[in-house]
Amino acid sequence: MAIRVLIVDDSALMRSFIGEVLAADRGMEVVGVASDPFSARQKIKLLNPDVITLDVEMPGMDGLTFLEHLMRLRPMPVVMVSTATSQGSATTLRALEIGAVDFVAKPSVALETGWPDFSAELIAKVKTAASAFVPYHVPATTSLKMPDDLERPGKIIALGGSTGSVAVFQHIIAAMPADGPAILIAVHMPAQFTKQFAARLNGLCAMDVVEAVDNMPVVTGRAIVAPGDRHLTIKRLASGYICKLESGPRVNGHVPSVNVLFDSVASAAGSDAIGIILTGMGRDGAIGLRAMRDAGALTACQDEATSLIYGMPSAAVAEDAVSIQLPISDIPSFILNNLGTSRVASMRSGT
């Protein structure tokens, strides 16, 4: 049965273009278009779409305000269509926290080079959204403390996620104390969005959250986000670990790749690490998490009941890469309760 889509965008050109893109796919049916949230509200009642594509910036009522109303009164899958500007990406990240399933960034390059990729991504993400678990509930974050009997948080924490993971990352990192363990994050986002993602987390969390740069020390009290156009790996030195950024082909369809990060952590840190795969579409990270488990690391994934999309966790389970499946609410305490000590002297933040 075709996925019924409602397009909400104040630009007549974008409404027409998105409509043509989606209607060309046999699995889609564009049931209507709306130029503003007020007409969109009426058409949702009348047409009962399966998925909405929603512009971020619109007159009368902005996309965020409309999305908040929608998620409170009639939750349904929403794919945001955003500009890849600093303001646009920050707004889009907020939309993902509110409840949007995913986003597609409008390209800033010429029509003939940028829009075909946009079209393919839009089709894929609308199809994913149609199968998402909505409404998606992320519990309120509770700030935690380091275990009293722990001398130092010696283990490195490697986290990977995709669709639905923005709010989950926020829940996990915001629960960590300022002196929490070193955390490495690979999430499927374009470059401008990872920069904003790190900045937003940094403003909400006790830990220092930064986008990775080459040779940055991996230290306690710091969470490091892979840039959206580079693979994040780590290198082990006598004094501790440092980040290494790599250009290169997409792995499992992605740069940064969760698999690349996990493979690197398995090789460099071995049993001095914890790896966790969060909600997301596809298989990225499954083989890398298995490498971490084989190297002696403790591994986990977000459980099906609390995943917006259970694809990446399910693939990791099928790969026999997962020691335990956890609901969102249990992940922060799981991390802190399993830190132990490290064979490599941990470095303190600020070095």
Q: Give me the CATH number covering residue 262.
A: 3.40.50.180
Considering the domain architecture, whether residues 94 and 30 belong to the same structural domain is answered as yes
Mean pLDDT check: name the lowest of 243-252, 307-316, 333-342: 333-342
Q: Does residue 242 lie in a domain region?
A: yes
In this prediction, residues 171-184 reach a mean pLDDT of 97
Considering the domain architecture, whether residues 171 and 317 belong to the same structural domain is answered as yes
CATH of the domain at 22: 3.40.50.2300
Considering the domain architecture, whether residues 119 and 8 belong to the same structural domain is answered as yes
Considering the domain architecture, whether residues 207 and 92 belong to the same structural domain is answered as no
User: Residues with Cβ < 8 Å from 2, sequence gap 6 or more?
Assistant: 26, 27, 28, 29
Q: pLDDT of 4-30, one tens digit each? A: 999 999 989 999 999 999 999 999 999
Which of 62, 96, 130 terminates a domain? The answer is: 130
CA distances from residue 98 to 56, 63, 67, 167, 265 in whole angstroms, order as listed: 13, 11, 7, 8, 32
Count: domains in the chain: 2
In this prediction, residues 150-172 reach a mean pLDDT of 90
CB 194 within 8 A of CB 105: no
Q: Does residue 150 lie in a domain region?
A: no
4: helix, strand or coil = strand
Q: Tokens for 299, please give them.
A: 């591994």
Q: pLDDT of 95-125, one tens digit each? A: 999 999 999 988 765 555 578 889 999 999 9
Strand 3-8 relative to strand 156-161, pairing: unpaired
Considering the domain architecture, whether residues 260 and 163 belong to the same structural domain is answered as yes
Q: pLDDT of 207-247, one tens digit each? A: 999 999 999 999 999 999 999 999 999 999 999 999 999 99
- Is pLDDT of 346 > 50? no
Q: Which of 348, 344, 332, 351 is nearest to 154 (CA)?
A: 344
State the CB neighbour count (10 A cutoff) for residue 314.
18
Tell me, yes or no, if 284 is annotated catalytic: yes
Tell me, yes or no, if 330 is annotated catalytic: no
Residue 76 belongs to what domain range?
A: 3-130
Q: Does residue 140 lie in a domain region?
A: no
Q: Does residue 80 lie in a domain region?
A: yes
Question: Which one is catalytic: 9, 82, 165, 188?
Answer: 188
Q: Identify the band that residue 84 occupies on the pLDDT scale cut at 50, 70 and 90.
A: low
Calpha distance 348→220 (Å, rounded): 6
Considering the domain architecture, whether residues 88 and 43 belong to the same structural domain is answered as yes
CA distances from residue 124 to 25, 272, 282 in whole angstroms, order as listed: 10, 37, 11
Q: Which residue's entry shows tokens 């950024």?
A: 245
Q: Tokens for 180, please give them.
A: 């929490």
Question: Which one is catalytic: 284, 314, 342, 346?
Answer: 284
Tell me, yes or no, if 171 is annotated catalytic: no
CB 47 within 8 A of CB 55: no
Question: Which one is catalytic: 82, 89, 162, 342?
Answer: 162
Burial zone of 10 (CB within 10 Å; 0-12 exposed, 13-18 middle, 19+ buried): middle
